[in-house]
């Protein structure tokens, strides 16, 4: 009987430990529902794409204890060159912030928190802003990886000339936890452009 009581207490103890576990750090977006491709509203207006280049709304929860700031990246690992393509980099987001509203990646938009810094996306220097998806026509769906990082420092103290890859490296050295969502986007192959004939 004592053994049975001990076993019962042991099981209860395990349950209590599980209940006290820290909830997972998570990232979500009302603009990027799971299982659906990225809407054209959030795509680029360049290279044959005709979206308004609006950044999606994002929200994160359950940041770990000790978080002093957040950073955010959007990366396409399949975009040439082989090193991939940085679409968005934000850092020095205050620890009191837990979301970015739609359009925050547009320069001067009031949705970007005070003090937060944007890096320059690949292929669009020198302006720092969100650069929406625009894969080549006929490519298989590209996987756009959006990640929020909980950091151990308030500021990264990076020069304005830092590349997105440089910023990502600095983020990686200060990360306490990270949360990711991956969404797909592709463009079907169009027919040849009509030509004028004399």
pLDDT 10s digits, 102-127:
999 999 899 999 999 999 998 766 68
Q: Which residues pair with 72 in a beta bridge?
A: 90, 148
Please report whether residue 84 resides in a domain: yes
Please report whether residue 14 resides in a domain: no
Please report whether residue 11 resides in a domain: no
Please report whether residue 194 resides in a domain: no
Q: Which of 31, 38, 155 is nearest to 87 (CA)?
A: 38
Number of domains, the chain: 1
Please report whether residue 6 resides in a domain: no
Domain holding 55, by residue range, is 23-185
The enclosing domain of 181 has a CATH number of: 3.90.280.10
Helix, strand, or coil (residue 123)? coil
Please report whether residue 100 resides in a domain: yes
Handedness of CA 35, 40, 44, 47 (dihedral sign): positive
pTM of the model: 0.84
Question: In this structure, what are the phi and psi dihedrals at residue 41, rounded to the nearest 5 degrees?
Answer: -55, -25
Please report whether residue 91 resides in a domain: yes
Top-confidence range, 7-21, 119-133, 159-173: 159-173
Please report whether residue 51 resides in a domain: yes
């Amino acid at each position: 009987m004592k053994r049975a009581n001990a076993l019962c207490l042991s099981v209860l103890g395990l349950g209590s430990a599980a209940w006290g576990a820290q909830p997972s750090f998570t990232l979500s977006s009302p603009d990027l529902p799971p299982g659906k491709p990225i809407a054209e509203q959030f795509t680029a207006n360049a290279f044959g794409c005709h979206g308004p280049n609006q950044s999606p709304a994002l929200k994160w929860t359950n940041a770990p204890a000790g978080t002093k700031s957040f950073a955010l990246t959007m990366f396409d690992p399949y975009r040439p060159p082989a090193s991939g393509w940085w679409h968005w980099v934000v850092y020095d987001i205050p620890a009191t912030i837990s979301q970015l509203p739609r359009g925050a990646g547009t320069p001067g938009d009031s949705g970007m928190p005070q003090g937060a810094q944007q890096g320059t996306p690949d292929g669009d220097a020198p302006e720092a802003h969100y650069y929406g998806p625009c894969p080549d026509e006929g490519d298989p769906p590209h996987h756009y990886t959006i990640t929020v990082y909980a950091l151990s420092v308030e500021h990264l103290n990076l020069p304005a000339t830092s590349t997105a890859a440089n910023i990502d490296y600095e983020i990686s050295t200060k990360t306490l936890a990270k949360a990711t969502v991956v969404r797909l986007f592709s463009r079907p192959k169009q027919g040849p452009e009509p030509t004028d004939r004399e």
